[in-house]
Chains A and B, each alone.
Chain A
């Protein structure tokens, strides 16, 4: 799977929007962009995924650059429960091995 680069940490005030960036300059045409998040001592939690078009769901929005070399996870109103490590992952449509490389992720702190 292609590598991703994310900032190590970010902070946000509660109830404000948060934009979490991810660079994936070596993304291939068959790679989907997935976002998961994880709290300490818990399993990863699926957030959102997309290929080319921007995506919205009840948890977040995913904005994908036109050249697909970067993407941004948008939490519209951060809550204290959103404090977690967020992982941007590329998953290859050709990869039947279902590997997940979580990397270091972005640790999001939400300030009350």
Chain B
């Protein structure tokens, strides 16, 4: 059973489009995250939800909007996609909201903007 699953794995789309990435975890964790990975291997936090409540909202363009319908799901919607949005986006979950909790990652969504 996949613990943290993201869909789609690959997403190729044109500039200006709106797209969504879905994430689900079956670990019973109460905290979920979205990270953006740039080419330098740096995973930058974008958002974090704890029990459906937004707890981390880093400086991210408001074209990015997370949505957590329940604590097992955290989706990411992106409006008006730009070339600079091309990256790998990782979803993760942890038990508890502490920075020190081990995090379980999905396999990433590779977003390419044409």
Q: Which residues of A contact B (CB under 8 A)?
A: 32, 34, 41-46, 49, 91-93, 95-105
Chain B 55-89, CB-CB to A under 8 Å as 1, else 0, gives 01010000000000000000000000000000000
Q: Which residues of A contact B108 (CB under 8 A)?
A: 41-43
Which listed residue (A43, A95, A103) contacts B106, Cβ 8 A? Answer: A43
Starting from the known contacts A92-B99, A101-B41, A103-B41, 17 additional A-B residue pairs (CB-CB under 8 Å) come to A43-B106, A44-B43, A44-B90, A46-B103, A46-B104, A49-B100, A91-B100, A93-B100, A96-B99, A97-B99, A98-B33, A98-B56, A99-B44, A100-B45, A101-B43, A102-B41, A105-B41
Q: Classify the secondary structure of B's interface with A.
A: strand
Residues of chain B having any CB pair with chain A under 8 Å: 4, 33, 35, 41-45, 48, 56, 58, 90, 92, 99-100, 102-108
